[in-house]
Structure 1
Amino acid sequence: MTKKERIENMTKIMTEDEMVVINNTIELMKTMEEGIDYVNKKFNELKVEETINMLIDLTEAFTTIEGAVSPLIVKFEENEIESKNEELKSALEILLKDLEQTNGKKAIDIMKLHLIPKFDAWKEEMTRVLKPYIVS
């Protein structure tokens, strides 16, 4: 079976609405990556207060993706989406807690050591799993 035939078979098991969810998820992940880059830049410029709204938006985007993709996980090939979701959620919580308690004194380290690596691993897994369903 060719790659094209395999993809056609996979898309047949997804409803049109599910395909929309997958495409929207890919787009929202790109937007999240831009947001993380923005937050990281602002932390490095020591402009912590300028990150709050973006971090709220990032958390809401992640929650939206998690909720939308969760019902589809059983249809995907073997994956680590749920564990990557938990790891990213934890990293976001660590950063938000630091901002609340210390006004972001450890934010640069948390971004570098926790959030960015967890986001990258999450995005890589999501892309690996979702990419076969994207019709170009």
Structure 2
Amino acid sequence: MFKGIIAAMLITSGYFYTSQTDTAEASIKRGKAVYTANCQSCHMAEGQGIPGAFPPLAKSDFLMQDQKRAIGVVLNGLNDEIKVNGQTYHMQMPSHAFLTDQQVADVLTFVQNNWGNKAKPVTPAQVKELRKK
């Protein structure tokens, strides 16, 4: 009976809830490392970008509108005029197709869940599917 009570307390306290939360947290942690190594020099440490040169990722309407597009930008780069939060940017972002599917998923999960952004985690399967196209 005592074991049953402890098990019930652990379950109701959320102790055994690990699947989605831990996966997202681990992805965000890995994504921060990918961001620091590959994205931070242009988009800055807090995702604020450089006005007129590199768009912000923090509270970015462009980033958050379409997860598939965001994956495509990381994989294929971007050489186009875009509007981010009402400001026009004409920039050239290189392809980061050298990153693994997991790294792309992790870095996007990181940027889409920091600096005022909130989104579902990007999965390696989503990246793999778009990489094929």
Using CA pairs under 8 Å that are at least 6 residues apart, name the structure with larger relative contact order, 1 or 2: 1
TM-score, reference length from structure 1: 0.28
Which has more helix, going by share of residues? 1
Which has more strand, going by share of residues? 2
TM-score, reference length from structure 2: 0.29
